[in-house]
Chain A
Amino acid sequence: MEFTLSEEHRLVQSTVREWATTRLLPRAAEMDRRGAYPGELVRELGEMGLMGVFIPEEYGGGGMDTLSYCIVLEEIARAEAALAAVLSVNNSLDCFPIFAFGTDAQKRTHLTELARGRKLGCYCLTEPTAGSDAASLRTTARRDGGHWVLNGTKIFVTNGVEADVLIIYARTGGEGPRGISAFIAERGDPGLGVGKIEHKLGIHASSTCEIVLQDCRLPADRLLGEEGNGFSVAMATLDGGRIGIAAQALGIARAALEDAVAYAKERRQFGRAIAEFQATQWKIADMATRIQAGRLLMYRAAWIRDQGRRHTLEASIAKLFASETAMWAATQAVQIFGGYGYIQDYPVERHFRDAKITEIYEGTSEVQRLVIARSVLGALDRAVEPVRAEGASVARAAGPEGRRRSRADGAGGQA
């Protein structure tokens, strides 16, 4: 076992930490207050290769691995969590599926500009009646000569207001996951519009909106992957995405810890710094412990993904633990700040609001527990998806490697 980062990973970490501390952290409070999209900062991220971290250089990306991606996201989120959301959607939910499932032409046309940060991506899966149960989505796509015609409404679309490239999931066949296909749409495609813009609890500087499809006509070559394979695309995408959300959550948790430590050393009550009180020390100790545990889970999930192995279980475990750590750590930080923690002059109420989304998007904590429990319990898969008469083997149903995706692996909230 080797627990040290390689020289290049350390260089990624120090570079992004310095950028985030110099360029992002001083603006974080204002970004939260104004809620405006930080286009200039996204352009800088693009120049550094951070909008397509694990996309090969030939397609405009950073040419690095999932571990680098985790390091980048943790450092960005530690300074400001909304920019981490913008970056994570572009990397995980747009660059990845086009790279993994797209044709050469689609990569050349759509991926390169996304990875360079010159175009921005969004991911349209969730619908008003299809959140955690993503496979029940109702948006339709029907073939009309050389085109696909899409109709439906997507909600909770991160980056939706500014996005140039949209990955859209729609039903091309019957009920259930196998009737779903993935498409690439572009801003300006006929029948594609931005609907209601949401006002959120946190991550204010990233936009969230409805995407409305009214007879939206896409050329046939915008189908991403095979027809009917869209749900597999969506779920494979979310495996990587969840590792990214774990990184964002740990960044928020670390910010909460760093701010709490600085405050506890400075704030004096009863004639001494509150850091000298055990009530404070235990909170700090528990925050540090959970953050380190979460980081190890995340690094391991990233490592398994970088080995090219199935990592659905590990991604869910990392995402679940890290997001709950973020919410918990932010709560402790607010408590350590006391009354000052509840007002907007101090950063911890922002961490508290920003942390909550990590327990919801890219699969709620409940969905993560469902994925984890199903993997651990294995054979109970039958209750969800009946074993076929020819006798799908227990072995197939039992392990995470062989387990077929079933419909409740859902997105839960974001898309």
Chain B
Amino acid sequence: MNIVVCVKHVPDTEVPIRIRADGRGIEESGLNFVLNFYDEHGVEEALRIKERLGGTVTLVTAGPARAVEALRTGLAMGADAAIHIQDPALASLDQIGTARVLAAAIKAGPCDLVLCGKLSTDDNAAVVGPAVAEFLGLAQATAVTKLELGDGKATAHREVEGAVEVLEVGLPAVITVERGINEPRYPSLPGIMRAKRTAITARTLADLGIAAPPPAHVELLGMTPPPKRQAGRRLEGEPAAVVHELVRALHEEAKLL
């Protein structure tokens, strides 16, 4: 089974984000970037399938030079190959455009299954996986918590409100994975050394037969930081009155009661 995993290099969620002066993006200097958390689960799932059924795991990312680190992390976990789509035009793409570029790279090679993280923790859109499926004309299942592969088809479990939905999709298909699907392994030292030796395939949009960057459907107007948390309020006075006021505040202001 030849599996392609789409991955993204995103800011470490532990690190505070600063908005760029022009308000159209985040300040990247001094920021630590990592392999998107949900994509790690995608890589892990691909490796487990490969360990059971054989085949190859190929990573693909569309991103700036630094994104090679996300590919190295996935290779160190055990992936066999990696494609890095790097092009100045990527900066102007929205999620649909990114999906088109990824789909073009996936189409260029053998592929029985595409795995993606459910979403990327930076822009939280959950669009790229489903859009890749559309561009490739493949069946899809999103936010999958359990994946079973059969002959030419796959059974995918999804947690929906109050139930588990079980879908059957024909292969090849695009599956986006939820965090509960597995526990990703840590890269091993021999894995890191192999990742260092593995040549990463570089692709531009022109290499993928995309003459002009797909126009963006969405325009980013601006970014603002979330409002600062209000300081707490201290209730003072007689215990009976304080309790009365607390219950009133929880009910009328916080709307918790």
A residues with CB within 8 A of B: 7-8, 10-12, 14-15, 18-19, 44, 47-50, 53, 57, 61-64, 68
- Decide yes or no whether B235 CB sits under 8 A from chain A: no
User: Bound state CA distance, A10 and B195, in angstroms?
Assistant: 13
Apart from A7-B69, A49-B191, list 13 A-B contacts with CB within 8 A: A7-B196, A8-B195, A8-B196, A11-B69, A11-B73, A11-B187, A19-B186, A44-B186, A48-B186, A49-B190, A53-B189, A64-B192, A68-B189
The 6 sampled A-B contact pairs (Cβ below 8 Å) are A8-B193, A14-B34, A18-B186, A57-B190, A62-B188, A63-B189
* A62/B196 contact (C-beta < 8 A), A7-B72, A14-B34, A15-B76 known: no
Given the complex, which residues of B lie within 8 Å of A48, measured CB to CB? 186-189
Q: Which residues of A contact B191 (CB under 8 A)?
A: 49
Do the beta carbons of A15 and B195 come within 8 Å of each other?
Answer: no
Question: Contacts A7-B72, A48-B187 known; A15 to B192 CB distance under 8 Å?
Answer: yes
| B193 touching A15, Cβ below 8 Å | no
A residues within 8 A CB of B72? 7-8, 11
Residues of B within 8 A of A (CB): 34, 68-69, 72-73, 76, 186-193, 195-196
Most chain A Cβ neighbours within 10 Å, of B190, B191, B196 = B190
- Chain B interface, DSSP helix/strand/loop, else mixed: helix
Interface of A is mostly: helix
Would you give the shortest CB distance from B179 to chain A, in whole angstroms? 14
Contacting pair B76 A64 (CB below 8 A): no
For residue B189, which residues in chain A have a CB less than 8 angstroms away from its CB? 12, 48-50, 53, 61-64, 68
Report the separation of the CA atoms of residues A287 and B192 in the bound assembly, to the nearest whole angstrom: 32
A402 to B189, CA, bound (A): 35
Given contacts A11-B195, A63-B193, contact A47 B187 (CB under 8 A): no
Q: Which residue of A lies closest to B193 (CB)?
A: A63
A15 to chain B: which residues have CB within 8 Å?
Answer: 76, 186-187, 192
Residue on B nearest A6 in the bound complex, by CB: B196
Query: Could you say which of A12, A19, A61 contacts B192, with CB atoms under 8 Å apart?
Result: A12
Q: Once bound together, how far apart are the Cα atoms of A15 and B68, in whole Å?
A: 16
Cβ A57 vs Cβ B193 within 8 A: yes
| B169–chain A nearest beta-carbon distance, Å | 33
Residues in A with CB closer than 8 Å to B193 are: 8, 57, 62-64
Tell me how far the C-beta of B226 lies from the nearest C-beta in chain A, rounded to whole angstroms: 21
CB contacts (< 8 Å) of B196 on chain A: these are 7-8
Chain B residues near A64 (CB-CB < 8 A) = 189, 192-193
Closest approach, in angstroms, between the C-beta of B103 and any C-beta of chain A? Answer: 29
A-B complex: 5 closest residue pairs judged by Cβ atoms: A62-B189, A49-B189, A8-B196, A49-B188, A48-B188
A11 touches B192 (CB 8 A): yes
Least CB distance, A155 to chain B, in whole angstroms: 33
A11–B35 Cα distance when bound, in Å, is: 11
Closest to B32 in A: A14
B192 touches A8 (CB 8 A): yes
Which partner residue on chain A sits nearest B12 by CB separation? A14
| Smallest CB gap from B35: residue in A | A14
Residues in chain A near residue B76, CB distance under 8 A? 11, 15
- Complex: how many Å from CA A145 to CA B189? 43
